[in-house]
Amino acid sequence: MTMTRWLAPGLRSHAKRLMMVGLEVCLLGACGVPDTARISGPVAAGSALTQERAKPNPALFEKDARPYGRSMEFWAEQWWRWVYSTPAAINPFLHRTIDSNQNQSGPVFFLAPGDRTNTVPRHWAIAVTPSTVLNDYPCPDPTFQPAPGQSLFDFLMAGIEPIQNAVVEIDATLDGQVLNDLLSYRAKSDDLTYLVGDSSLLTPLDGCITGSRQPAVVDAFIFLIKPPEPGFHVLTTRVVNQAGEVFTHTQNLEVQ
Protein backbone atom coordinates (compact mmCIF):
# COMPACT_ATOMS: atom_id res chain seq x y z
CA MET A 1 0.00 0.00 0.00
CA THR A 2 1.00 3.53 -0.18
CA MET A 3 -0.40 6.01 2.13
CA THR A 4 0.19 9.58 1.43
CA ARG A 5 -0.70 12.14 3.97
CA TRP A 6 0.52 15.19 5.91
CA LEU A 7 0.22 13.89 9.38
CA ALA A 8 1.26 11.01 11.54
CA PRO A 9 5.03 10.53 11.44
CA GLY A 10 6.60 7.15 11.69
CA LEU A 11 3.68 4.88 10.84
CA ARG A 12 4.38 1.96 8.56
CA SER A 13 2.57 -1.12 7.34
CA HIS A 14 4.50 -4.08 5.93
CA ALA A 15 6.89 -2.86 3.22
CA LYS A 16 4.61 -0.08 2.13
CA ARG A 17 5.23 3.47 3.08
CA LEU A 18 2.73 5.96 4.36
CA MET A 19 2.30 9.09 2.32
CA MET A 20 0.73 11.71 4.44
CA VAL A 21 -0.69 15.11 4.05
CA GLY A 22 -1.55 17.30 6.98
CA LEU A 23 1.48 17.05 9.17
CA GLU A 24 4.31 16.19 6.88
CA VAL A 25 5.04 13.73 4.12
CA CYS A 26 6.54 10.34 4.96
CA LEU A 27 8.55 8.90 2.10
CA LEU A 28 10.31 5.56 2.37
CA GLY A 29 9.69 5.58 6.08
CA ALA A 30 11.48 8.91 6.70
CA CYS A 31 9.16 11.64 7.91
CA GLY A 32 9.50 15.36 8.21
CA VAL A 33 9.98 17.12 11.51
CA PRO A 34 7.01 19.07 12.89
CA ASP A 35 7.24 22.85 12.90
CA THR A 36 7.20 22.81 16.69
CA ALA A 37 8.31 19.57 18.26
CA ARG A 38 5.40 19.36 20.71
CA ILE A 39 2.79 21.48 22.34
CA SER A 40 2.87 21.74 26.10
CA GLY A 41 -0.10 20.61 28.14
CA PRO A 42 -2.94 18.32 27.08
CA VAL A 43 -3.87 18.42 23.43
CA ALA A 44 -7.56 18.38 24.32
CA ALA A 45 -7.28 21.91 25.68
CA GLY A 46 -7.38 23.22 22.10
CA SER A 47 -6.44 26.65 20.80
CA ALA A 48 -8.19 29.97 20.53
CA LEU A 49 -9.14 29.11 16.98
CA THR A 50 -11.04 25.98 17.97
CA GLN A 51 -13.16 28.01 20.37
CA GLU A 52 -15.00 29.18 17.25
CA ARG A 53 -16.42 25.73 16.51
CA ALA A 54 -19.88 25.33 15.02
CA LYS A 55 -20.00 28.79 13.46
CA PRO A 56 -20.75 28.89 9.73
CA ASN A 57 -17.99 29.07 7.13
CA PRO A 58 -19.33 31.36 4.40
CA ALA A 59 -16.08 31.08 2.41
CA LEU A 60 -16.41 27.28 2.14
CA PHE A 61 -18.75 24.83 0.50
CA GLU A 62 -20.63 23.05 3.27
CA LYS A 63 -19.13 19.74 4.35
CA ASP A 64 -22.07 17.77 2.94
CA ALA A 65 -22.32 19.84 -0.25
CA ARG A 66 -21.86 18.51 -3.78
CA PRO A 67 -19.67 21.13 -5.46
CA TYR A 68 -20.05 20.96 -9.24
CA GLY A 69 -22.36 17.97 -8.82
CA ARG A 70 -19.76 15.80 -7.05
CA SER A 71 -19.49 14.61 -3.45
CA MET A 72 -16.72 15.64 -1.08
CA GLU A 73 -15.57 12.03 -1.18
CA PHE A 74 -15.11 12.36 -4.94
CA TRP A 75 -13.00 15.52 -4.54
CA ALA A 76 -10.86 13.87 -1.85
CA GLU A 77 -10.16 10.99 -4.21
CA GLN A 78 -9.67 13.34 -7.17
CA TRP A 79 -7.03 15.24 -5.18
CA TRP A 80 -4.98 12.05 -5.08
CA ARG A 81 -5.57 11.32 -8.76
CA TRP A 82 -4.10 14.75 -9.46
CA VAL A 83 -1.01 13.97 -7.33
CA TYR A 84 -0.48 10.56 -8.94
CA SER A 85 -0.98 11.81 -12.50
CA THR A 86 1.50 14.71 -12.23
CA PRO A 87 5.07 13.81 -13.35
CA ALA A 88 7.74 13.91 -10.67
CA ALA A 89 9.69 16.78 -12.24
CA ILE A 90 6.77 19.20 -11.81
CA ASN A 91 4.85 17.54 -8.99
CA PRO A 92 4.15 20.08 -6.22
CA PHE A 93 3.63 17.27 -3.74
CA LEU A 94 7.32 16.42 -4.14
CA HIS A 95 8.63 19.97 -4.61
CA ARG A 96 7.38 22.06 -1.73
CA THR A 97 8.10 25.49 -3.20
CA ILE A 98 6.81 25.27 -6.78
CA ASP A 99 3.38 26.57 -7.76
CA SER A 100 0.55 24.06 -7.29
CA ASN A 101 -0.71 25.18 -10.70
CA GLN A 102 0.67 22.10 -12.46
CA ASN A 103 -1.47 19.62 -14.39
CA GLN A 104 -4.67 21.33 -13.18
CA SER A 105 -7.82 21.17 -15.27
CA GLY A 106 -10.56 22.75 -13.11
CA PRO A 107 -13.15 23.60 -11.96
CA VAL A 108 -11.42 22.73 -8.66
CA PHE A 109 -7.83 23.76 -7.97
CA PHE A 110 -5.96 21.13 -5.94
CA LEU A 111 -3.65 22.70 -3.38
CA ALA A 112 -0.47 20.80 -2.56
CA PRO A 113 0.89 21.01 0.99
CA GLY A 114 3.74 23.28 1.97
CA ASP A 115 4.59 26.96 2.18
CA ARG A 116 4.37 28.47 -1.28
CA THR A 117 2.70 30.92 -3.64
CA ASN A 118 0.05 29.46 -5.94
CA THR A 119 -1.45 30.97 -9.09
CA VAL A 120 -5.15 30.13 -9.12
CA PRO A 121 -7.39 30.72 -12.14
CA ARG A 122 -10.40 32.88 -11.32
CA HIS A 123 -13.77 31.17 -10.94
CA TRP A 124 -12.15 27.96 -9.65
CA ALA A 125 -12.81 26.52 -6.20
CA ILE A 126 -9.78 25.44 -4.13
CA ALA A 127 -9.50 22.01 -2.50
CA VAL A 128 -7.50 22.04 0.74
CA THR A 129 -6.48 18.82 2.50
CA PRO A 130 -5.02 19.54 5.95
CA SER A 131 -4.64 15.78 6.43
CA THR A 132 -5.31 13.05 3.90
CA VAL A 133 -4.23 9.44 3.51
CA LEU A 134 -4.35 7.11 0.51
CA ASN A 135 -3.84 3.34 0.52
CA ASP A 136 -3.39 1.53 -2.81
CA TYR A 137 -2.97 -2.03 -4.04
CA PRO A 138 -1.12 -4.19 -5.08
CA CYS A 139 2.44 -3.87 -3.82
CA PRO A 140 5.63 -5.91 -4.23
CA ASP A 141 5.38 -7.07 -0.61
CA PRO A 142 3.70 -10.51 -0.89
CA THR A 143 2.36 -10.26 2.67
CA PHE A 144 0.34 -7.17 1.85
CA GLN A 145 -2.93 -9.05 1.31
CA PRO A 146 -6.40 -9.15 2.88
CA ALA A 147 -6.98 -11.80 5.50
CA PRO A 148 -9.12 -14.78 4.46
CA GLY A 149 -12.69 -13.57 4.08
CA GLN A 150 -11.70 -9.89 4.33
CA SER A 151 -12.59 -7.63 1.41
CA LEU A 152 -9.89 -5.56 -0.25
CA PHE A 153 -11.80 -2.41 0.65
CA ASP A 154 -11.95 -3.30 4.36
CA PHE A 155 -8.28 -4.30 4.32
CA LEU A 156 -7.14 -1.02 2.79
CA MET A 157 -9.37 1.14 4.98
CA ALA A 158 -8.18 -0.61 8.14
CA GLY A 159 -4.68 0.59 7.34
CA ILE A 160 -5.53 4.29 7.19
CA GLU A 161 -8.49 5.08 9.44
CA PRO A 162 -6.39 4.90 12.64
CA ILE A 163 -4.01 7.48 11.18
CA GLN A 164 -6.76 10.00 10.62
CA ASN A 165 -8.33 9.17 13.98
CA ALA A 166 -5.08 10.41 15.55
CA VAL A 167 -5.71 13.93 14.26
CA VAL A 168 -7.11 15.89 17.20
CA GLU A 169 -7.09 19.49 16.00
CA ILE A 170 -7.28 21.30 12.67
CA ASP A 171 -7.28 25.09 12.55
CA ALA A 172 -7.20 27.37 9.52
CA THR A 173 -7.65 30.99 8.54
CA LEU A 174 -8.40 32.55 5.18
CA ASP A 175 -7.39 36.20 4.89
CA GLY A 176 -7.35 36.34 8.68
CA GLN A 177 -10.86 34.91 9.07
CA VAL A 178 -11.16 31.76 11.17
CA LEU A 179 -12.50 28.64 9.45
CA ASN A 180 -14.54 26.67 11.97
CA ASP A 181 -15.06 23.05 13.00
CA LEU A 182 -12.70 21.59 10.40
CA LEU A 183 -12.47 18.22 12.13
CA SER A 184 -16.02 17.60 10.91
CA TYR A 185 -14.91 18.08 7.28
CA ARG A 186 -13.91 14.45 6.84
CA ALA A 187 -14.57 12.43 3.70
CA LYS A 188 -13.79 8.73 3.26
CA SER A 189 -14.09 6.33 0.36
CA ASP A 190 -17.22 4.21 0.68
CA ASP A 191 -15.97 1.80 -1.98
CA LEU A 192 -12.78 1.15 -3.91
CA THR A 193 -11.69 3.98 -6.14
CA TYR A 194 -9.10 3.72 -8.92
CA LEU A 195 -6.10 5.70 -10.07
CA VAL A 196 -3.19 5.46 -12.51
CA GLY A 197 0.21 6.55 -11.23
CA ASP A 198 2.72 8.26 -13.50
CA SER A 199 5.75 5.99 -13.88
CA SER A 200 8.13 8.80 -12.89
CA LEU A 201 6.66 8.69 -9.38
CA LEU A 202 7.65 5.07 -8.74
CA THR A 203 10.84 5.90 -6.85
CA PRO A 204 10.18 9.31 -5.28
CA LEU A 205 6.55 8.73 -4.29
CA ASP A 206 5.20 5.19 -4.36
CA GLY A 207 7.01 1.92 -4.99
CA CYS A 208 3.65 0.27 -5.58
CA ILE A 209 2.84 2.19 -8.77
CA THR A 210 2.22 -0.21 -11.64
CA GLY A 211 1.53 2.33 -14.39
CA SER A 212 -1.93 0.88 -14.88
CA ARG A 213 -5.27 1.23 -13.12
CA GLN A 214 -5.01 0.38 -9.41
CA PRO A 215 -7.62 0.17 -6.64
CA ALA A 216 -7.23 2.50 -3.69
CA VAL A 217 -9.07 4.09 -0.76
CA VAL A 218 -8.84 7.57 0.74
CA ASP A 219 -9.55 9.03 4.17
CA ALA A 220 -9.29 12.83 4.18
CA PHE A 221 -9.97 15.99 6.06
CA ILE A 222 -10.85 18.24 3.15
CA PHE A 223 -12.62 21.52 2.56
CA LEU A 224 -13.35 23.42 -0.64
CA ILE A 225 -12.99 27.18 -0.74
CA LYS A 226 -15.60 28.82 -2.94
CA PRO A 227 -14.05 30.63 -5.93
CA PRO A 228 -12.21 33.59 -4.35
CA GLU A 229 -12.27 37.11 -5.71
CA PRO A 230 -9.33 38.03 -7.98
CA GLY A 231 -6.36 39.27 -6.04
CA PHE A 232 -4.06 38.06 -3.28
CA HIS A 233 -5.26 35.78 -0.48
CA VAL A 234 -3.51 34.01 2.41
CA LEU A 235 -4.46 30.60 3.82
CA THR A 236 -2.92 29.25 7.03
CA THR A 237 -3.39 25.73 8.40
CA ARG A 238 -2.42 24.15 11.72
CA VAL A 239 -2.76 20.45 12.51
CA VAL A 240 -2.14 18.69 15.83
CA ASN A 241 -1.90 14.95 16.43
CA GLN A 242 -2.39 12.86 19.56
CA ALA A 243 1.34 13.02 20.29
CA GLY A 244 1.03 16.78 20.61
CA GLU A 245 3.04 17.50 17.45
CA VAL A 246 2.05 20.68 15.63
CA PHE A 247 2.32 21.26 11.88
CA THR A 248 1.68 24.65 10.31
CA HIS A 249 1.69 25.94 6.73
CA THR A 250 1.05 29.24 4.98
CA GLN A 251 -0.17 29.31 1.39
CA ASN A 252 -0.31 32.46 -0.72
CA LEU A 253 -3.07 32.39 -3.33
CA GLU A 254 -2.87 34.71 -6.31
CA VAL A 255 -6.23 34.52 -8.07
CA GLN A 256 -5.94 35.76 -11.65
- Over the stretch 143-200, which tens digit does the pLDDT of each residue have? 999 999 999 999 999 999 999 999 999 999 999 999 999 999 999 999 999 999 999 9
Please check whether residue 104 lies inside any domain of the structure: yes
124 within domain boundaries: yes
* DSSP one-letter code for 193: E
87 inside domain: yes
Q: State yes or no: pLDDT of 229 exceeds 60.
A: yes
pLDDT at 37: 42
CB-based burial of residue 142 (10 Å sphere; 0-12 exposed, 13-18 middle, 19+ buried)? exposed
Q: What is the mean pLDDT of residues 130-148?
A: 95
Please name the residues in contact with 165: beta carbons below 8 A apart, sequence gap of 6 or more: none
- pLDDT of res. 47: 52
42 assigned to some structural domain: no
Residue 250 has pLDDT above 80, yes or no: yes
The length of the chain in residues reads 256
Whether 151 is in a domain gets the answer yes
Q: What is residue 55's predicted lDDT score, i.e. its pLDDT? A: 67
What's the domain count of the chain? 1
Residue 23 lies in a domain: no
pLDDT in tens, 194-223: 999 999 999 999 999 999 999 999 999 999
Letter string b/e over residues 55-91, b meaning 16 or more CB atoms within 10 A of that residue's CB: eebebbbebeeebeeeebbbbbbbbbbbbbebebeeb
Average pLDDT, the chain: 85
Whole-number pLDDT of residue 174: 98
Asked if pLDDT for residue 128 goes beyond 90, the answer is yes
Is the model's pLDDT at 124 over the cut of 60? yes
What pLDDT is recorded for position 56?
Answer: 84
Q: What is the mean pLDDT of residues 86-111?
A: 96
Per the CB < 8 A criterion, the answer to whether 111 and 126 are in contact is yes
In-domain check, residue 41:
no
Mean pLDDT of 17-43: 41
- Expressed as residue numbers, the domain containing 167 is 47-255
In a domain, 30, yes or no: no
